Amino acid sequence: MCGIAGFISLDGRRDPAWLDALGRTMTEAMAHRGEGACAPYVSSCGTVMLCATRLAVRDRTAAGDQPMTDPGGRVVLVHNGEVYGSRSPAPPLWPRRTTCDTEFVLQQICREPDPGNALRPLSGMFALAWHDTSTGRVVLARDHFGVKPLVYAFTHGGLLFASEAGVLLRTGLVAPEADPEEYVLRSWIRMDAADDRTWLRGVKSLQPAEYLVVDPPRTRTHRYWRPEPDDVPVGPEEIRAAFDRAVAERSVSDVPRAAVLSGGVDSSAIVAGLTAAGLPIDAYVLRYQDGIGGSGDDVAHAAEVADRLGVPLTVCDLDRHAAADLVPILPTRLMRPLLHGAELAMHQLYRTIAGDGNVVVYSGHGADELWGYQDGRYFPVVDPAAPTHVHGRHYLTHRLHPDERPVWARLVSWLAHELDVDMTAVATQVWERTMAEYRSLGTPDPLKRGRYHLMRRFLVYVNDMVDATSSTFTLEDRPVFQDVTLAELAFRCPEYLKDTGEPGSHKELLKTALADLLPDSVRRRRKQGFPTPTDPGYVRRLTELADGLGAPFGLPPLPAGLRAELGVGEWMFLASTSAWLDHLAELRTDPRSHGEQFRSPVALADSGQRGRP
């Protein structure tokens, strides 16, 4: 885990002191993402600034500090994440000065003039930015699955980017504003990353497996990888070999390790694989007060796995009061409202893990989206038993949410009406934007297209949530199943082999491949997601919190009939929305975020050019 940020001028030279000051401000804003930072890189041409904060996981010496430059001084790189190697290894271009992965990535970039060819074979999770001083080109890139985030905005005659939206806002160059229409759209689709837009006006997110090339004044985006769909049977032994390689690659660390162990198939297999390799590992599981929401079941299964493997297990308790107290806090890190109870659970887990001195965390997210999801019931387009009509445009845009979550649908429709947002336009965008990836995969198979949608949309939402909560505590989360080789096997494999459609058969092929790593009770266990408290006391606490914060956007009170229908999810969403909007308002009035020193014409290019607003 690191943080990267920078600015690329699109209209000429800037004052180097201005760029340096901007870099130091952005570095300070992302200090929680690493242990230390060096001075920003400012190009001699006065058009590029790159900065980073580093969490040293491999080679903790100063030799691995960033920004990092090749021996000839041609390419300057900043790097967030962890790259374990390349699927197309080549001899090093120069004798390695470090054992850290940043230098490995730098060699790959220097070797390949085409960014796509450099990025495609990389195995790992990353967000990158590099400046080629010989051509003036800057490239921003994000890993195959979007494990590591990278957001950007066109502002002040240039492109501003960072690992977190909050870093952009802290400069004062990007207005902390919510777009009501985007708010309604993202609230409507819930738990899904719609596309390259974000909850903030003017802030965009680079998409998974994409890179953005900046050849001032031009910018253009390219996709460098997508899995090839096929229907060639994949055997358990092939899956197991790929899993073992993924675990081995991710096992390298010079800092203490931990793992999230929910007692499910994915986390249990990862802990077993790491233990079999002789690596010391501490395991953690979350339990809500009184074991509500199924969290007690998680603890029982996690304890069985930990006892079998001889692994220490820590139970992280979260009562209803602590959970409610997190509701107004987490939106300031996520830069969005809370949509799912997982945000609370992850925050509590990572806080406990970091408090015990761990730095690297292993987790299993990504396996469900690729190998089977909750007996096929999570999303109709990946349900083998679902009738064909649910794959149609009308159902996905008009019926899916009202049918599955009617109270949520009524709440968002009321918000849209009060915000003067056209829900018909929103429904159209659900299909055109949110489902674009579902339609883009080159196969008529709706199940494989559904898997691709989940990987490119829902999994990105999960990854962003994991990054925001783990980076709060300066942790590096390594999701083992988000491995390119494993993903390509999943898209090559016929869907019927993954899930027979029988109760409890989700991920059956994956379970077979990992059978010797799993107790029988874990193999037979029904899939369940992260729990959330549902007891009346928690609902009352959230209701009081939402009432105290006031209606979002200064809207009138909820109609009595709708208010009486709301449950935990709706009240959590309303309270966190108001807290998020209050935070944006505070940023607008915070002197540290005014950024006047960065907007001043005096600080601009000595050529006399002014940045565009």
153-195: pLDDT as tens digits: 999 999 999 999 999 999 999 999 999 999 999 999 888 888 9
Task: Locate the DSSP E strands across 55-202.
Answer: 68-69, 75-86, 122-132, 138-142, 151-155, 158-162
pLDDT tens for 557-604 read 999 999 999 999 999 999 999 999 999 999 988 756 545 566 643 344
Query: CB of 454 within 8 A of CB of 444?
Result: no
pLDDT exceeds 90 at position 537 = no
pLDDT exceeds 80 at position 394 = no
Integer Cα distance of 462 and 191 in angstroms: 8
Q: Look up residue 360 and give its two tokens.
A: 């690297």
pLDDT exceeds 70 at position 435 = yes
What is residue 62's predicted lDDT score, i.e. its pLDDT?
Answer: 87
- Cis amide bond preceding 91, omega within 30: no
Domains 3-183+200-225 and 236-381+397-524 share a fold: no
Q: Which residue has the higher pLDDT, 536 or 45?
A: 45
pLDDT tens for 84-115 read 999 887 888 999 999 899 999 999 999 999 99
In this prediction, residue 505 has a pLDDT band, given cuts at 50, 70 and 90, of low
Query: CB of 132 within 8 A of CB of 74?
Result: yes
Classified by CATH at the fold level, domain 3-183+200-225 comes out as Glutamine Phosphoribosylpyrophosphate, subunit 1, domain 1 (3.60.20)
What is residue 363's predicted lDDT score, i.e. its pLDDT?
Answer: 96
- Distance of alpha carbon 465 from the chain centroid: 5
Cα–Cα nearest to 581, from 542, 544, 613, 555:
555
Q: Which residue has the higher pLDDT, 278 or 606?
A: 278
Integer Cα distance of 304 and 286 in angstroms: 15
**């998680």: which residue's tokens?**
298
Residues 6+ apart with CB under 8 A from 4: 50, 51, 52, 66, 78, 79, 80, 127, 128, 129, 150, 161, 162, 163
Integer Cα distance of 555 and 549 in angstroms: 12
Query: CB of 30 within 8 A of CB of 468?
Result: no
In this prediction, residue 251 has a pLDDT band, given cuts at 50, 70 and 90, of very high
162-189 CB burial, b ≥16 within 10 A, e <16: bbbbbbbbbbbbbbbbbbbbbbbbbbbb
What is residue 211's predicted lDDT score, i.e. its pLDDT?
Answer: 98
pLDDT exceeds 50 at position 125 = yes
What is residue 384's predicted lDDT score, i.e. its pLDDT?
Answer: 52
- Strand 204-205 and strand 476-479: the pairing is unpaired
Side-chain half-sphere CA neighbours of 182 within 13 A: 17
Tell me which DSSP letter residue 39 carries.
P
Mean pLDDT of 418-438: 90
Integer Cα distance of 17 and 20 in angstroms: 5
Query: CB of 394 within 8 A of CB of 462?
Result: no
Residues 6+ apart with CB under 8 A from 407: 565, 566, 567, 570
The alpha carbon dihedral of 517, 519, 524, 527 has a sign of negative
The rounded mean pLDDT for the chain is 89
DSSP one-letter string for 554-585: GPPPPPHHHHHH--HHHHHHHHHHHHHHHHHH
Mean pLDDT of 24-52: 96
Residues 6+ apart with CB under 8 A from 241: none
pTM for this model (two decimals): 0.94
Cα→Cα distances 31→3, 24, 212, Å: 8, 10, 25
**């994949």: which residue's tokens?**
234
What is residue 601's predicted lDDT score, i.e. its pLDDT?
Answer: 39
Q: Which residue has the higher pLDDT, 503 or 516?
A: 516
Q: SS3 of 204, please? A: strand
Q: Which amino acid is at 149?
A: P
Query: CB of 63 within 8 A of CB of 71?
Result: no
In this prediction, residue 427 has a pLDDT band, given cuts at 50, 70 and 90, of confident
What is residue 381's predicted lDDT score, i.e. its pLDDT?
Answer: 53
**């070797």: which residue's tokens?**
111
- Supply φ then ψ for residue 11, to 5 degrees: -140, 35
pLDDT tens for 297-333 read 889 999 999 999 999 999 999 988 899 999 999 999 9
Q: Which residue has the higher pLDDT, 498 or 377?
A: 498
What is residue 507's predicted lDDT score, i.e. its pLDDT?
Answer: 85
pLDDT tens for 445-502 read 878 888 898 899 999 999 999 999 999 999 999 999 999 999 999 999 998 888 766 5
What is residue 289's predicted lDDT score, i.e. its pLDDT?
Answer: 73
Integer Cα distance of 494 and 186 in angstroms: 32
Q: Look up residue 476 and give its two tokens.
A: 């590096």
CATH class of 236-381+397-524: alpha beta
Residues 6+ apart with CB under 8 A from 40: 19, 20, 22, 23, 24, 26, 27, 49, 50, 51, 67
Q: What percent of the chain lies above the pLDDT cut of 90?
A: 71
Cα–Cα nearest to 571, from 415, 338, 402:
338
What is residue 613's predicted lDDT score, i.e. its pLDDT?
Answer: 27
- Cis amide bond preceding 217, omega within 30: yes
Query: CB of 129 within 8 A of CB of 6?
Result: yes
Query: Taking the domains of the chain in order of start, what are their residue ranges?
Result: 3-183+200-225, 236-381+397-524
Integer Cα distance of 548 and 50 in angstroms: 42
What is residue 290's predicted lDDT score, i.e. its pLDDT?
Answer: 64
